[in-house]
Chain A
Amino acid sequence: MQFKDYYAILGVDRNASQEDIRKAYRRLARKYHPDVSKEANAEQMMKEVNEANAVLSDPEKKAAYDQMGQGFRADEDFSPPPDWGSGFEFSGRGFGDGNMHDASEFFSRMFGHGGRNRHSHQMRGEDRHARIVVDLATAWTGASQTVSLRVPEMGADGQVVLREQSLQVTIPAGITEGQHLRVAGQGTPGFNGGPAGDLFLEISFRPDGRFRTEGRDVHGHLPVTPWEAALGGSIQAMTPSGPVEMRIPAESQAGRKLRLKGRGIPGNPPGDLYLELQVVLPPAKTEAARDLYRKMAETMPFNPRQEIRP
């Protein structure tokens, strides 16, 4: 296990006051908060910053960490002695929003044995949260998918260790982005015979360049030729649930939105599918094609900018 220099992570001196630690934490939380940050490694950095703050802002944990970490440098090999933690009372929560499975091995082994496991009465385990990324088509078909999680578990020595766990879950059809699936009994184990918590999986759709969703409604683009837009007619369009035959109204312009009622994500009621027409010009790469464009210009004089005045 590698030693974590929490002072370096927060960028503060070892003699920093609680106010300095709080200021440093807030500054870094703004920089790496996964909800707003543009940094590539924001999520990982935020976990480290949360962990450092959980230790350094808690007087009990800070005192224990300071005593144990004397003389160690970041990433140096480290293992706590067997009597580690005696004389300290880690009564606070884990860190961040309490999700121990976000903790590093260092944090879990140093501070993971405190808290709830000392209760003598039955206690329900904590609920856990994870995000699951699925293809948009899953909203129509449903799917079975494997979810990998890091689960905190009590080792034989009373220390918390993180174990990889894989779950095969069935995702029902009709899901929308941001919805939560509840997997009963797959949270952290209960204490003294208490029931396990639940696992909540937040649905996220894999980015799709063709479609986006708003609840059950689906929005996309529909490329059409100039003659299809001008003359109208039946065409075959690709939708997330497969190809459909649809009619293009004559004299359609680029940007016109067509609604296919009930063709959005299934549900009660189902969503609608909105397709925005995108007029695509045939390339003018051959002399014959250029001749046709010239002929159009002669027979159909048209200035699309005549409405625009300086």
Chain B
Amino acid sequence: MTITCILTDDQPLTLLELANACQVEPAWIAERIMAGLVITPIPARLDGALFGSRAIERTRQLLRIENDFDANPELAALVVDMMEQLTMLRRQIRQDHPVIDIL
């Protein structure tokens, strides 16, 4: 049987659904949204806010970094920012031509 998937950016998640997806309490996410660490929801208030793919990924990364390294939320967010940059640069390198060393 083939199962049809729904793109979370076409049908975004509520705060409770995002919390379920990341296995945290909604308050944990709300606290980080208010501090500007997760992602700005649409609309930019928590009541009725909706979240897409980037919010899921970012919330899970924040959670991992905070848990694995006992990091405070601001530090974890900084690490996640840098990881996003790193991913983008790695993709760029992957496509660029190999460097040839000439003596």
Contacts and interface: CB of A to CB of B under 8 A. Distances in A.
A169 B6 contact: no
A10 to B, nearest CB: 13
Contacts of A170: 2-5
B61 interface: yes
A211 B69 contact: no
Contact of A182 (B1, B6, B63, B88): B6
A35 B23 contact: no
A171 B10 CA distance: 13
User: Chain B interface mostly helix, strand, loop or mixed?
Assistant: helix
A96 B68 CA distance: 8
Given A26-B70, A124-B20, A178-B54, A169 B5 contact: yes
A214 B95 contact: no
Interface string B1-42: 111111111010100000011110000000000000000000
Given A180-B8, A210-B95, A35 B61 contact: yes
Nearest to A35: B83
Interface residues of A, number: 51
B92 interface: yes
A179 B8 contact: yes
Contacts of B64: 33, 35, 96-97
A219 interface: yes
A209 B68 CA distance: 34
Nearest to B56: A180
Nearest to A132: B5
Interface in A45-65: 50
A209 to B, nearest CB: 7
Contacts of B60: 97, 129
Contacts of B72: none
A50 B13 CA distance: 28
Contact of B7 (A33, A35, A181): A181
Contact of A127 (B6, B21, B61, B67): B21
Interface string B68-103: 111000000000000100101001101101000000
Nearest to A172: B7
Interface in A142-186: 144, 167-172, 174-175, 177-184, 186
Contacts of B13: 182
B20 A197 contact: yes
Contacts of B65: 35
A168 B6 contact: no
A200 B95 contact: no
Given A129-B60, A179-B8, A208-B95, 11 more contacts: A97-B22, A126-B23, A129-B21, A144-B2, A168-B2, A169-B2, A169-B4, A169-B5, A181-B5, A183-B3, A220-B95
6 contacts: A171-B5, A180-B7, A180-B52, A182-B11, A214-B91, A221-B95
A-B interface, 7 closest residue pairs, ranked by CB to CB distance from nearest: A181-B5, A212-B95, A180-B53, A179-B53, A98-B23, A180-B8, A29-B68
Interface of A: 22, 25-26, 29-30, 33, 35-36, 50, 93, 96-98, 124, 126-127, 129, 144, 167-172, 174-175, 177-184, 186, 197-198, 200-202, 207-214, 219-221
Interface of B: 1-9, 11, 13, 20-23, 52-54, 56-57, 60-61, 63-65, 67-70, 83, 86, 88, 91-92, 94-95, 97
